[in-house]
Chains A and B, each alone.
Chain A
Amino acid sequence: MSENKVVRIRARNMADDALFEFLHMEIVAHMYKEQVTREDIDKERVTCVSTLELMGFRVGQGLIERFTKDCPTFKDDLDVMKFLCKDFWSMIFKKQIDNLRTNHQGTYVLQDNKFALLTQFSSGKQYLEEAPKYLAFSCGLIRGALSNLGLESVVTAEVSLMPSCKFQVVIQKL
């Protein structure tokens, strides 16, 4: 029975990109709509972002578990980050991170010049203030993936010109 199931999952082609993108937009919209009825505006922003981030975190954890099930262990933190930028990113967004920088003290900056979840919005500064909502989930995704690879981190995102986006990862020393 369980073997049968594995075969079935392998054979399945895919869920289309568009489906994920629409679902993501709808999740963001839903979270914000739900919160509008509550009063305190600043507080509400924070809850939305952290809810989305937490959802992403869970998904990241699940994904990394499946992606790394037959790959050897990593040498060090940098090796993990490289894996994240190349393999993990291409598996979920069909492209690699364009630029990875680090200060060698636990801070990494991942730059994606054409981030999939922003390309539909604009190429420039229009709707810039809306961008953070659409990045919270992805920040969580990264944090969740790292967490299951043994690295606790804080991940934030920054956009100065769409659809380019920078994720800053700060590894927390235990």
Chain B
Amino acid sequence: MSRQSNRATDNKKMNSELFTLTYGALVTQLCKDYENDEEVNKQLDKMGYNIGVRLIEDFLARSSVGRCHDFRETADVIAKVAFKMYLGITPSVTNWSPAGDEFSLILESNPLVDFVELPDNHSNLVYSNLLCGVLRGALEMVQMAVDVRFSQDTLRGDNVTEIRMKFIKRIEENLPAGDE
């Protein structure tokens, strides 16, 4: 019985391992299925996109965040609310471009890579590329076309993990006539 009681504690933490390991299994499988890293990156981004367009609904329903008025506000919501909610981390927002249309998310730690080491022959693999797709897909659903990519990655020897986000344009809403 005592065995059970000490195991039952913090099952929340365990769940993140399920996600991390499952993601690892996916990347491994994709590396087997595709010849080169570029193609794997592309697939991860595509899958992330599909997740993002659905995840945004879950996010809006649970966070009661309204429409963002500018890109700075968007950046704040992504870093402080969304990342916190789904990955339990709060990246810092830095490196704003003078025009305010481009910024970086700095991830101190990346939950996706907890147990990962990249072998030498996968130097072009962007292991966490799924995240880019998720961000792009989610923002597209709130009428923002954004370019998202990893510009630094601790897995590839950089000091920090940096996701660079660039605002491209606002997507026009094409509502049917009479529909608010």
A residues apposed to B, CB below 8 Å:
8-10, 12-20, 22-24, 26-27, 29-30, 34, 51, 55-56, 58-59, 62-63, 66-67, 71-72, 86-87, 90-92, 94, 137
Contact = CB atoms under 8 A, between A and B. Distances in A.
Nearest to B7: A87
Contact of A14 (B7, B13, B114, B130): B13
A24 B111 CA distance: 17
Nearest to B89: A12
B28 interface: yes
Given A23-B51, A63-B18, A12 B23 contact: no
Contacts of B55: 18-19, 22
Q: Pick from A22, A34, A137 the residue with the most CB of B within 10 Å.
A: A22
Nearest to A18: B58
Contacts of A23: 19, 22-23, 26, 51, 130
A90 B13 contact: no
Q: Pick from B19, B29, B109 the residue with the most CB of A within 10 Å.
A: B19
Given A26-B50, A66-B14, 14 more contacts: A8-B109, A9-B114, A12-B111, A13-B88, A15-B15, A15-B87, A20-B19, A23-B23, A55-B25, A55-B26, A58-B28, A59-B22, A63-B21, A86-B4
B86 A20 contact: no
Interface in B3-46: 3-4, 6-8, 11-26, 28-29, 33, 43
Nearest to A31: B29
B171 interface: no
Given A15-B87, A58-B28, A26 B15 contact: no
B88 A15 contact: yes
B78 interface: no
B14 A92 contact: yes
